A and B are shown apart, each in its own frame.
Chain A
Amino acid sequence: SQQGEEDPQALSIQEGENATMNCSYKTSINNLQWYRQNSGRGLVHLILIRSNEREKHSGRLRVTLDTSKKSSSLLITASRAADTASYFCATDPFGSGGSNYKLTFGKGTLLTVNP
């Protein structure tokens, strides 16, 4: 079953604006990751945040994690047309019998950045 759920399902913005996507999950986690998928391609890892971290930055990406609310957000600042893609959160369930490699992916947010 799906562990993470992204919100919104689709987001359309203008170039230069910021884009925020949210992810909610159900069970305790070791870490949470965000991946990007360009149309017709495989997923590419963007950023990982551990359960004991609250915020992480990587270039124009900012990820926050609130374990009390079981939620995370991905902020892309100063968006570009090349950021157009689907974005997925993936969780690594805590205490899964040592199988901490079985990521569970959400259904994704489709981001469209209009030039």
Chain B
Amino acid sequence: NAGVTQTPKFQVLKTGQSMTLQCAQDMNHEYMSWYRQDPGMGLRLIHYSVGAGITDQGEVPNGYNVSRSTTEDFPLRLLSAAPSQTSVYFCASSRLAGDKNIQYFGAGTRLSVL
């Protein structure tokens, strides 16, 4: 059981480049989300989805796009990378089951934008 898989693990971009961070889960979870983690800032929600075809913005959505064409996949797109997007990105998933929204996290993608 793989859980939540993120690729790549590391990435270096130049300012202005675009890329897609991949996230896949094999637990049939309805809810998926993307966070960024910066030193001293904790985790901040970027975008989330409650099911295929449904996405919404979190706390820090600017500069990022998402789509959810299947239950399993939730890619995060950086359209034009900026140094401020240097961070560690985590994907998480959970069931939408009453008050037990326990989230399962991937191992993270460490992104540097030069």
Residues of A participating in the B interface, judged by any CB pair closer than 8 Å = 1-2, 30-31, 33, 40-45, 48, 50, 88, 90, 92, 100-108
On chain A, the residues within 8 Å of B58 by CB distance are 102
| In the complex with contacts A102-B45, A102-B58, A31-B103 CB distance below 8 A | no
Residues of B participating in the A interface, judged by any CB pair closer than 8 Å = 4, 31, 33, 35, 40-43, 45, 48, 50, 58-59, 90, 92, 94, 96, 99-108
| Pairwise interchain contact A33-B90, C-beta atoms closer than 8 A | no
| Pairwise interchain contact A42-B90, C-beta atoms closer than 8 A | yes
| Pairwise interchain contact A100-B104, C-beta atoms closer than 8 A | no
The tally of CB-CB contacts under 8 A between chains A and B is 56
> Once the chains are docked, how many angstroms separate the CA of A41 from the CA of B107?
5
| Pairwise interchain contact A101-B43, C-beta atoms closer than 8 A | no
| Pairwise interchain contact B42-A106, C-beta atoms closer than 8 A | yes
Given A42-B108, A43-B92, 13 other A-B residues pairs in contact with their CB atoms under 8 A: A1-B59, A43-B90, A43-B105, A45-B102, A50-B99, A101-B48, A101-B101, A102-B48, A102-B58, A104-B45, A106-B42, A107-B42, A108-B42
> Once the chains are docked, how many angstroms separate the CA of A40 from the CA of B42?
14
